[in-house]
A and B are shown apart, each in its own frame.
Chain A
């Protein structure tokens, strides 16, 4: 199968994630969309590694997974703290700082 198709898929996944961040209201869902974007980038890395026959891209994919795991830890910590103090994870409710 043509490797370029994987790049199209990656671009589509990235777009779904990027649009999802903008239109969804629940912080957890927004966060999931960001993870989708990271994984789309991973797919692009692996595809380029495959096209070129080098391993660099595949190794970067592992680095991204580790970083994404750290991001989950930090992100969920912040979202859970917010939920405990407001009983809501909607990003629209978090608007105290808008004067």
Chain B
């Protein structure tokens, strides 16, 4: 007990580098000259993420190491998920780099003189960059966390910056602030459930580590009521984070209200982190207690897929539609979680990578479609976009094909792998519902494409702005990754298969 704690800094390097970059970003925000601040912050953020990725590559072979006295587990899935999060964050930050999507001064009342003078004088605050880095650090820690405290702290470190980022839109600021309020109140509510569940798991096993809880689950002598309470409440907190039915109510509002680059980042990266933690908790800790959670999660998976796909059909707003589509995708990912086999783990990891890149690209394209008052998200006004800017419309259609799971896109390989894994585990009902809701979902994706190419041009004032170099790199690279993962996924699938084994 009296040993000096050993942290193993090299294992924690990716997380620590991102946190360090965030702290330097806060200092830059305070001391750098206003004119150069945006450029400096963007360089710092991208550089930090790049160095963090390099330091992750250095430890990629250490697939069974514990760091920070067992609080952080570095195993294959951790490395894969941290890599995915860093890549997604890197391209998301390129889109966030267009700071004219964000309010010049978040504290100014919308429509006030203060706000106008800040805009005219070009006093653009760039706190979005350090906030992004803090959120990324939490996301890197969340799937690696190996005890209850680290899980809870990582959950909050990733959530708190996101609540603020949701409220920083420049246009439609009241919507954006409302999204922040809703996200915050419901998110904090869910974290309270998570913490209460953690307390009862501690009471169940008298251990805070996941391996200790696992030992108590196998031992079978501890109080099972505590296990049930703890498992239920901790699952509730996680289900909220990924937006599973019936805890999905916040998703459409927050996705619609938040600034579009943030919506993309949130949709892609939060899913990776939350599903990462969920996979570790269910596969490592509660695999032997699966009769307690698997039937309920199966019902939730089915409900999530169906509600997401069906409600999306009625949406008239492109961001709300993609929000419901993300709910449906959470359902598809659940089929991988409840498969509870190695194929399920590998398929979920691949799906997260594929979905993440398609999401970043799709929301990146939405930031480009504007009129004088800001982005246009009303679907009817997208009519005829295919004739006005064929390249952007083609790229967006490609992302929609990926979401729908059409062959030659990453979405097809992802769905195929995940349904195969569910089938192997004997869960045929989920596979049938999954394929059915994919078919329903294809309807509203195709409808957008029909709208863009075949509907009459309504002579709208809408334009597709010329993307900044970074944004175009981000959306075209996302398109490229989506294509490569769809045409030649073998190297990535092999790499994931070699690494995808949880260490207890």
Contact = CB atoms under 8 A, between A and B. Distances in A.
Interface of A: 7, 10, 14, 17-18, 21, 27, 30-31, 34, 37-38, 40-42, 44-45, 47-48, 51-52, 54, 56-57, 59-60, 63-64, 67, 70-71, 74-75, 77-79, 81-82, 84-86, 91, 94-99
Given A71-B191, A81-B107, 18 more contacts: A18-B192, A21-B189, A44-B196, A54-B206, A56-B208, A57-B202, A60-B148, A60-B152, A64-B152, A74-B163, A74-B184, A75-B185, A78-B167, A78-B177, A82-B177, A82-B180, A85-B177, A94-B182
Interface string B173-202: 111011111101100110111011011101
19 contacts: A17-B192, A34-B188, A34-B189, A34-B192, A44-B196, A48-B203, A57-B202, A60-B149, A60-B199, A64-B152, A64-B195, A75-B188, A77-B164, A78-B177, A78-B181, A82-B178, A84-B109, A85-B110, A94-B182
B206 A52 contact: yes
B359 interface: no
A48 B202 contact: yes
A32 B207 CA distance: 30
B177 A97 contact: no
A51 B200 CA distance: 13
B98 interface: no
A38 B195 contact: yes
Interface of B: 106-107, 109-110, 148-149, 152-153, 156, 160, 163-164, 167, 173-175, 177-182, 184-185, 188-189, 191-193, 195-196, 198-200, 202-203, 206-208, 252-253, 256-257, 317
Q: Is the interface of A mostly helix, strand, loop or mixed?
A: helix
A45 B153 contact: no
For the complex of A and B, the 3 pairs showing the least CB-CB separation, nearest first, are: A37-B192, A44-B199, A48-B203
Nearest to A66: B153
A26 to B, nearest CB: 11
Q: Is the interface of B mostly helix, strand, loop or mixed?
A: helix
A97 to B, nearest CB: 4
Nearest to B204: A48
Contacts of B182: 94, 97
A74 B160 contact: yes
A48 B180 CA distance: 35
B50 to A, nearest CB: 28
Given A31-B188, A78-B167, A96-B175, A41 B181 contact: no
- Which of B109, B163, B188, B208 has the most chain A CB atoms closer than 10 A to its own CB? B188
- Which of B180, B182, B185, B200 has the most chain A CB atoms closer than 10 A to its own CB? B185
A98 B181 CA distance: 14
Given A41-B196, A97-B256, A81 B106 contact: yes
A2 B188 CA distance: 32
Nearest to A36: B192
Contacts of A97: 175, 178-179, 182, 252-253, 256-257
A8 to B, nearest CB: 13
A82 B256 CA distance: 17
- Which of B163, B184, B192 has the most chain A CB atoms closer than 10 A to its own CB? B192
A57 B201 CA distance: 11
A82 B203 contact: no
Contacts of A41: 192, 195-196, 198-199
Given A60-B208, A78-B181, A85 B174 contact: yes
Given A31-B188, A38-B192, A85-B110, A94 B153 contact: no
A82 B183 CA distance: 13
B175 A34 contact: no
Contacts of A45: 199, 202
Nearest to B252: A97
A63 B206 contact: no
Contacts of B179: 97
A6 to B, nearest CB: 11
A42 B152 CA distance: 13
- Which of B164, B182, B206 has the most chain A CB atoms closer than 10 A to its own CB? B206
Contacts of B177: 78, 81-82, 85
A87 B153 CA distance: 33
A44 B177 CA distance: 34
B202 A75 contact: no
B163 A78 contact: yes
Contact of B156 (A7, A71, A96): A71
B185 A91 contact: yes
A34 B185 contact: yes
A81 B189 CA distance: 20
- Which of B174, B175, B178 has the most chain A CB atoms closer than 10 A to its own CB? B178
A41 B181 CA distance: 23
A63 B198 CA distance: 13
Contacts of A34: 185, 188-189, 192
Given A48-B206, A85-B109, A75 B184 contact: yes
Contacts of B199: 10, 41-42, 44-45, 48, 57, 60
